[in-house]
Chain A
Amino acid sequence: MSTIPAPLGQRPRGDKVRGTIFYVLLLISVAVGFIVLFTLIVDVVQKGIGYIDPLFFTEPNNPTNPQEAGAKPAILGTIYLMVLLLMFVVPIGVGTAIYLEEYADRERWYNRLLELNIQNLAAVPSIVYGILGLAFLVRGLGLGRVLLAGALILTLLVLPTVIVASREAIRSVPDSIRQGAYALGATQWQVVRRQVLPAAIPGIATGSILALARAIGETAPLLLVGALTYVTVDPSLLGSFTALPVQIYQWIARPQEEFRYLAAAGIMVLLAILLTMNAFAIWLRNRYQRRW
């Protein structure tokens, strides 16, 4: 009664060809990105490796002699910016995220407006933040062209990213955990402080580090709030400053060939910092990844 199934054999030829073509196209797309990036890195390393020496880390920029020029103020400036940025952006970003996820009543129009604005802010070009910084921080508040102004403007720049990442992390904490804690007589603050935040910290940390990595590569807003390129003294909170991307930008603009190699060395250092931060973020994520 039952029909005998057709014997197993080859797949129809057309199917096979289509599959192969698609696979090759995928490989090409991967190759394009990979080869371009690889070429860039090889090029940078070839040019810059000769200039990575102790002088590069201990000397300030020298506009007349590239052989003796270093990037100490720029590297220090970048590190100071990162530390300040973290200090500003994490409390404000996480606080906003907690408010929006745990406390805000979505029915209220001002909370919805707030959410809409944060999403839009994440898409504003960084140069616009730079103009805001110049008008509001440097001139309006009379802060001047100082490190603090640079850190504040970078904070504004990455704040939306940190808020969005933190909200994502807080939202991924299952509601059953909140309910369990409430059922034991915990107050809302205790639930947030002892259950939701600890469970969300890996996500928050990963998001913050990636935002930070974006911020330290930014040049445009720093140029506008007055990162200088001929800084020979170490940076201070209310003093003039420079940062690696700004220094790189300035070196590249110089006519002498040697300054280009110096710029390549700067790019290598910046890349090393970025890769370390991204690696740390990935490690954090894997280390604390939870299954619920």
Chain B
Amino acid sequence: MPDMESAPAAPATIAGLDEKILTERREAVSRTRRDVLFDVDGLTVSYADVPALKNVSLEIYKNFVTAFIGPSGCGKSTFIRCFNRMNDLIPTASVEGKILYHGTDLYGHEVDSVEVRKRIGMVFQKPNPFPKSIYDNVAFGPRILGWKKELDDRVERALRNAALWDEVKNRLKSSAYGLSGGQQQRLCIARCLAVEPDVLLMDEPASALDPISTTAIEDLMHTLKRDYTIVIVTHNMQQAARVADMTAFFSVEVDEEQDRRTGILVEYDETPTIFTNPGDKRTEDYVTGRFG
């Protein structure tokens, strides 16, 4: 565990962050019941036997928005990809440790990665609609699962839940590439929702979008967490403060001798605590912008 330094005298906070937001956050978190959905225990991810992320343990709660923040190369994207076993697609990647999901180890021998991904959806950094119509993009998931009944209703519901329906209802048959970047990203969210997952993983979902589209995605997250558990990786600390109930701060451990950089989990707590009263000096330096 990281060494615990004494909390700073004056509450450290990132510039421009509204105290009101944090107060709301604090209240929201204290009201919500905590049911553990993912229990990560001693997770280490390596690429070609070089560890990229070392010994991470944390719990992710149901119907919470959990944010992973940290500098580039700290392994936060690698980490989020463990939750739906996307790392399996990289031949050299190997995962040690456990991720218990409803009590079952996602990396257990009897668990099929395809089954995992049906329940745990993912939205990527760059919007990646399929080269098909808007309708076919959303219908893709249900179709491969063999849900052919009431497909129209399902597509409409998914688009409504992704706050996109009103903008596209008159052009469902036109290409998804005709949409703006923000609309494409909401389409990708709708595509995930159509298969009725349990969890939504979002890997920097707004980093390629303009501020207005970003706000739309953030608002959406607030609505969606009523029905889904959301895990988000973000570079933007304000964004983490605005949307996340819990925040995990990752950092890089540099081994000069072997020229290796390994990601580690520094601190994981309620978002307001991370931003105003972090328990670790490194977290404080990062959230106050003093990180070198």
Contacts and interface: CB of A to CB of B under 8 A. Distances in A.
Given A176-B126, A199-B131, A290-B131, A184 B121 contact: yes
Interface stretch (A139-147, A186-194, A244-252, A275-283): A186-194
Interface residues of B, number: 28
Nearest to B89: A182
B144 A186 contact: yes
Contact of B117 (A177, A183, A194, A199): A183
B212 to A, nearest CB: 23
Q: Which of B91, B143, B144, B177 has the most CB of A within 10 A?
A: B144
A184 B187 CA distance: 13
A239 interface: no
Contact of B140 (A107, A184, A199): A184
Interface string A259-292: 0000000000000000000000000000000111
Given A176-B126, A177-B130, A179-B128, A184 B144 contact: yes
B130 A185 contact: no
Contacts of A177: 128, 130-131
Nearest to B115: A185
Contacts of B117: 182-186
Contacts of B140: 181, 184, 186, 194
B121 A183 contact: yes
Nearest to B118: A185
A195 interface: yes
Interface string B121-137: 11010101111100000
Contacts of B114: 185-187
B141 A185 contact: yes
Interface in B153-192: 177, 188, 191-192
A180 interface: yes
Contacts of B262: none
B181 to A, nearest CB: 13
Interface string A69-101: 000000000000000000000000000000000
A179 B89 contact: yes
Contacts of A115: none
Interface string A40-76: 0000000000000000000000000000000000000
B128 A176 contact: yes
Contact of B124 (A105, A179, A190, A195): A179
B171 to A, nearest CB: 18
Interface in A158-189: 174, 176-177, 179-187
Interface of B: 84, 86, 89, 91, 114-115, 117-119, 121-122, 124, 126, 128-132, 140-141, 143-145, 177, 188, 191-192, 195
27 contacts: A107-B91, A176-B126, A177-B130, A177-B131, A179-B86, A179-B124, A180-B124, A180-B130, A180-B188, A181-B130, A182-B89, A182-B117, A183-B86, A183-B117, A183-B121, A183-B192, A184-B117, A184-B144, A185-B114, A185-B119, A185-B145, A186-B114, A194-B143, A198-B131, A198-B132, A199-B131, A292-B131
Given A190-B144, A194-B140, 5 more contacts: A176-B124, A176-B128, A180-B128, A180-B130, A195-B130
